[in-house]
Structure 1
Amino acid sequence: MKIGVLSDTHRMIKNINKAIPYLKECDLIIHAGDNFSDSKYIHKATNVDIIAVKGNCDFEHVEDELVFEVDKKTIFLSHGDSYGVKNGIDRIEQKAKGVNADIVIFGHTHVPFQKNKDGIIYINPGSLSLPRGVEYKSFIIIEIEDEAIKIEEIRI
């Protein structure tokens, strides 16, 4: 299973279009919010199923967090603002443990982040629009095969 993960695209279609060729090769796309409407554009451009939540800049009446299973892995998806991720992952870590997550995907900080802690993988794909802390725009490709999880950061 190949999963494209992005966040904080903020309607910057020019940058989203640079990611589309990679995302077309995925089995699933996950968008961690800001801007939820971009998930609709990405789905139309790729014809790949997409799971998305709203972020703090979104006004759609959609979920702001989801827990779901992909290839026997439980994924917790949140934009992250309601868990104070700009100040660390402590609060989102508590939630992740509470829902028995294997993978946590969040955005909000615009800073790429990957950490494996207590058997839970935390991923922030960074931003395709306004990166912070780095000089590149980014998203993530996750490959799940049996028990193995491979994470690749794509820079554009």
Structure 2
Amino acid sequence: MKIGVIGDTHRNYKYIDKAIECLKECELILHTGDNFQDSKYINEITGVDTIGIRGNCDFEDVEDEIVFDVGGYRIFLCHGHKYDIKYSLRSIKRRALELNVDIVIFGHSHIPVNYKEDNILFLNPGSISLPRGNSSRQFITMNIDGGVHIQDIILSES
């Protein structure tokens, strides 16, 4: 199963539309928040099932974290701001252990993360709108086919 993971899009439709070219090939799209409305836009354009959560810049009355199973993996999707992920992954790791998940997907920092510790994969797709930490405008795809394979998708500036 191919899953697109994007977040911190902040209504930057120039780059959202570029990302959609790749996202429409996915079977599921996950949006890590900021802006939740962008997840609805992506779903409308691609027709691909999309799960989005509320970030710290969102005001919709929707979930701010979700746990679900896909392809034999238990996934925890959140924005990350409630776990101070800009400073450390310690708090979000504690929550992941409580939830007994295999994969944690979060946003908030606008900095890509692909890190595994204690058999938990921590993923942040970065940001297509406001990349930080010398990162590029990017998101990721995740292929689950007996294992988890991550591909960074870098968007061109033009």
What's the TM-score bracket when you normalise by the shorter of the two chains? Answer: over 0.9
The AA in structure 2 aligned to 1:122 is F
The AA in structure 2 aligned to 1:75 is I
Write out per-residue CA displacement over residues 104-138 of structure 1, whole angstroms, 9 at most, x where no aligned residue: 00000000111011111000000010000124101
Distance 1:92 1:45, change over 3 A: same
Residue pairs, 1:65-76, within 5 angstroms: 65-76=65-76
What is the identity percentage for the equivalent residue pairs of Structure 1 and Structure 2?
A: 53
Deviation at 1:28, TM superposition (A): 0.1
Unaligned runs of 5+ in 2: none
Write out per-residue CA displacement over residues 7-40 of structure 1, whole angstroms, 9 at most, x where no aligned residue: 1000000100110111010000000000000001
Write out per-residue CA displacement over residues 72-106 of structure 1, whole angstroms, 9 at most, x where no aligned residue: 11000110000000011000000001111111000
Which SS does the other structure have where 1:45 is aligned? helix
Residue pairs, 1:19-98, within 5 angstroms: 19-98=19-98
Deviation at 1:142, TM superposition (A): 0.1
Unaligned runs of 5+ in 1: none
Runs of 4+ in structure 1 over 4 Å off: none
Residue in 2 aligned with 1:128?
A: 128
The AA in structure 1 aligned to 2:40 is K
Residue in 1 aligned with 2:154?
A: 155
Task: Give the structure-1-normalised TM-score.
Answer: 0.98
Which SS does the other structure have where 1:86 is aligned? coil
Residue in 2 aligned with 1:139?
A: 139
The AA in structure 2 aligned to 1:149 is V
Which SS does the other structure have where 2:86 is aligned? helix
Give the aligned length.
155
